[in-house]
Chain A
Amino acid sequence: MASQAAFNYQQQVEEIRQAMQCDFVALALVQSEERHFQIRWEFASGNLSQRFRRIILQSGKGIAGIVFKTGKPVFAPDAEKYCTKEDLYNYPIIAAEQIESFAAIPLFKYNRVKGILLAGCRKNNCMSIEKFELLKSLVAPTFGPYYSEELTRK
């Protein structure tokens, strides 16, 4: 627990944004059982508004919900293609922060998705494969108490 407290998420998120040269980086964490495993964006860097704090997602909803449910990363160099205009409102963080290009990866703990890291730009096609790989490497093998990959059973 001590190491967890020492881990400064906000600073880490800022640093990732620096390293990635992105406009926006945010970390969503899965809440405890008592809070119905809701997903909230807890830490953000480069945000336009405080709207992200109001967003509470259920599994399968929004970018974080999808990453949470599938346990797979999302790579969307063209956000408009990924979430069509008709459907954009279902991705509130993308709409609120006017993200045009993004990637999101799951963070694991006890082989369950416990966090979602999102990096995005307000410019189309800014998120390249290289940046996507960089994002994955930045949190590998661990990010605070989280693992970048699902661990196979010992």
Chain B
Amino acid sequence: MKGISQSGVSNLLEHLYENSTEAIFFFSLDGRVLSMNKAAERILDPQVAQLMKAGSADAICMACKGFTSVEEEQTCISCYMSDPERNIPSFQVFLETAGRGTVPYTGSIQMIDAEQGIRVFMLRDLTEQFKTQETLHQKTLVKRVIKAQEDERKRISRELHDSVAQEMLSSLVDLRVLKYMNVEDDVLKKVRQTEGSLMRLLDDIRHLSVQLRPATLDDLGLEAAFRTHFKWTEKNYGLLVHFTSNMQSQRFEGEIETVVYRVCQEAVFNALKYAEVEEVDVELLLTSDVLTLTVRDHGVGFNLNAPTYKGTGLGLFGMKERAELVNATLSVQTGIGNGTTILLTVPLTKEETEVENNHRG
């Protein structure tokens, strides 16, 4: 720092002004552009740039599409240019650019010469950061949606199971009483038929409840829920699932169980829908610090690098998002004609490991 003279600093500033990718404008008190650097010229529409250079007042408004306030994303209310006394270190502004459409920038405006009322207005391109932020935002959003969906399913499933099905059962019992009363034969036959319909309805409600979210998962854990689910897939789709597990009735945190269950469900469904197989292997292995789920089919497989989506293409994405919820990793091994293996590895919670460590200590 010592070595640079005053003229050296001006020299550097000049370089900065000429070569910076940040757009720099100098404004006079009445809003005319006194000077603008190359970067500023580059981003603006040539016509607008000409007008600005010519010193037309409010020329900036032809390019500016508003800035972001707490009320609105793009607004002109209490414009950053309106009050010369107000220095704003950073705000978001949208500019109509040459060839790139409306692009968000971080702007800053400050008085640098109070006597002559000269202000500097600087712009920094935000597109990249915006994209990153948006992706990040989307990811958190997806996770929230997954969670909200799961909670809602749980609620409706409980409601169906605990209240609707119970009510149905008591009316069924009432109806059965009729059979033991002194009624005529054709009435009795009708009662039997109605009883049958009601029983079917009750079964439908129970199935609906289980399909939404199996109560077994919350009450008895993963293994029981899987066994019920695979029995169901066999019945409904004719798909045989060979299930092996070494975890018996071990329980985990609710969220982990949900993730493992849903990922497995999705993976088995994928095999059913796209692999063109009749049998799937599912393995659930518990070691001291990880829980691994393997879903393997010997079906048609697909090209992982250039998948042709037969469905929405969201299944795999959803599985990954779900896995991230519990810091688990999901890997897919497949190739055309090689079948598909989905491997989910869930690290078990720290507390659990710590508890074990304490035991050892």
Task: State whether the Cβ of B46 lies closer than 8 Å to any Cβ in chain A.
Answer: no
Docked-complex contact B196 and A37, CB < 8 angstroms:
yes
Q: A59 to B193: give the CA distance in the assembly, Å.
A: 15
B177-228 contacts to A, CB under 8 A, are: 192-193, 195-196, 199-200, 203-204, 207
Docked-complex contact A89 and B203, CB < 8 angstroms:
no
Quick check: which of A2-10, A48-56, A71-79, A122-130 contacts chain B, the rest being far away?
A48-56
Instruction: For the complex formed, measure the closest distance between the CB of B278 and the CB atoms of chain A, giving whole angstroms.
Output: 6
Contacts of B63 in A (CB 8 A): none
Contacts of B278 in A (CB 8 A): 49, 51, 96
Which one of B193, B235, B272 contacts A89 once the chains associate, using CB atoms below 8 Å?
A: B272
A53, A54, A57, A112, most chain B CB atoms within 10 A: A54
Instruction: For the complex formed, measure the closest distance between the CB of B344 and the CB atoms of chain A, giving whole angstroms.
Output: 22
- Range of interface residues on B (Cβ < 8 Å): 20 to 34
Task: State whether the Cβ of A86 lies closer than 8 Å to any Cβ in chain B.
Answer: yes
B287-305 contacts to A, CB under 8 A, are: none
B239-295 contacts to A, CB under 8 A, are: 239-240, 269, 272-273, 278
Docked-complex contact B207 and A58, CB < 8 angstroms:
yes
Q: A52 to B236: give the CA distance in the assembly, Å.
A: 10
Instruction: For the complex formed, measure the closest distance between the CB of A6 and the CB atoms of chain B, giving whole angstroms.
Output: 26
Instruction: For the complex formed, measure the closest distance between the CB of B340 and the CB atoms of chain A, giving whole angstroms.
Output: 16
Contacts of A33 in B (CB 8 A): 192, 195-196, 199
User: When each residue 71-103 of chain A gets 1 if its CB lies under 8 Å from chain B and 0 otherwise, what string results?
Assistant: 000000000000001101100100010000000
Contacts of A59 in B (CB 8 A): 200, 204
Per DSSP, chain B at the interface is: helix
Q: A109 to B192: give the CA distance in the assembly, Å.
A: 15
Docked-complex contact A54 and B196, CB < 8 angstroms:
no
User: When each residue 114-149 of chain A gets 1 if its CB lies under 8 Å from chain B and 0 otherwise, what string results?
Assistant: 000000000000000000000000000000000000
Q: A92 to B207: give the CA distance in the assembly, Å.
A: 18
Task: State whether the Cβ of B307 lies closer than 8 Å to any Cβ in chain A.
Answer: no
Docked-complex contact B235 and A55, CB < 8 angstroms:
yes
Which one of A54, A62, A88 contacts B234 once the chains associate, using CB atoms below 8 Å?
A: A54
Docked-complex contact B235 and A56, CB < 8 angstroms:
yes
Contacts of A58 in B (CB 8 A): 203-204, 207, 236
A22-64 contacts to B, CB under 8 A, are: 33, 36-37, 49, 51-62
Docked-complex contact B236 and A57, CB < 8 angstroms:
yes
Instruction: For the complex formed, measure the closest distance between the CB of A110 and the CB atoms of chain B, giving whole angstroms.
Output: 8
Task: State whether the Cβ of B310 lies closer than 8 Å to any Cβ in chain A.
Answer: yes
Docked-complex contact B200 and A55, CB < 8 angstroms:
no
- B240 nearest in chain A by CB position: A54
Q: A85 to B311: give the CA distance in the assembly, Å.
A: 8
- A68 nearest in chain B by CB position: B200
Task: State whether the Cβ of B238 lies closer than 8 Å to any Cβ in chain A.
Answer: yes
- A52 nearest in chain B by CB position: B238
Task: State whether the Cβ of B237 lies closer than 8 Å to any Cβ in chain A.
Answer: yes
Docked-complex contact B237 and A55, CB < 8 angstroms:
yes
Which one of A53, A60, A92, A112 contacts B237 once the chains associate, using CB atoms below 8 Å?
A: A92
Q: A89 to B281: give the CA distance in the assembly, Å.
A: 19
- A62 nearest in chain B by CB position: B236
Which one of A37, A86, A88 contacts B200 once the chains associate, using CB atoms below 8 Å?
A: A37
Which one of A36, A85, A86 contacts B203 once the chains associate, using CB atoms below 8 Å?
A: A36
Q: A110 to B190: give the CA distance in the assembly, Å.
A: 11
Q: A24 to B195: give the CA distance in the assembly, Å.
A: 35
Contacts of A89 in B (CB 8 A): 237, 269, 272-273
Q: A96 to B239: give the CA distance in the assembly, Å.
A: 10
Q: A96 to B277: give the CA distance in the assembly, Å.
A: 9
Which one of B199, B204, B236 contacts A92 once the chains associate, using CB atoms below 8 Å?
A: B236
Q: A33 to B203: give the CA distance in the assembly, Å.
A: 12
Q: A51 to B235: give the CA distance in the assembly, Å.
A: 10
Q: A59 to B204: give the CA distance in the assembly, Å.
A: 8
Instruction: For the complex formed, measure the closest distance between the CB of B152 and the CB atoms of chain A, giving whole angstroms.
Output: 22
- A32 nearest in chain B by CB position: B196
Docked-complex contact B236 and A55, CB < 8 angstroms:
yes
Which one of B193, B204, B235, B272 contacts A54 once the chains associate, using CB atoms below 8 Å?
A: B235
Contacts of B269 in A (CB 8 A): 89
Q: A52 to B226: give the CA distance in the assembly, Å.
A: 23
Enumerate chain A interface residues (CB-CB to B < 8 A). 33, 36-37, 49, 51-62, 85-86, 88-89, 92, 96, 110, 112
20 new A-B contacts, CB < 8 A, other than A49-B278, A92-B237, are A33-B195, A36-B203, A37-B196, A37-B199, A51-B238, A53-B238, A54-B235, A54-B238, A54-B240, A55-B236, A55-B237, A56-B235, A56-B236, A58-B203, A58-B204, A59-B200, A59-B204, A86-B311, A88-B273, A89-B269
Of all A-B residue pairs in the complex, the 5 with the closest CB atoms, nearest first, are A56-B235, A54-B238, A51-B238, A55-B238, A92-B237
Please, could you name 5 A-B residue pairs with CB atoms under 8 Å apart, sorted by A? A33-B199, A37-B203, A55-B235, A59-B204, A86-B311
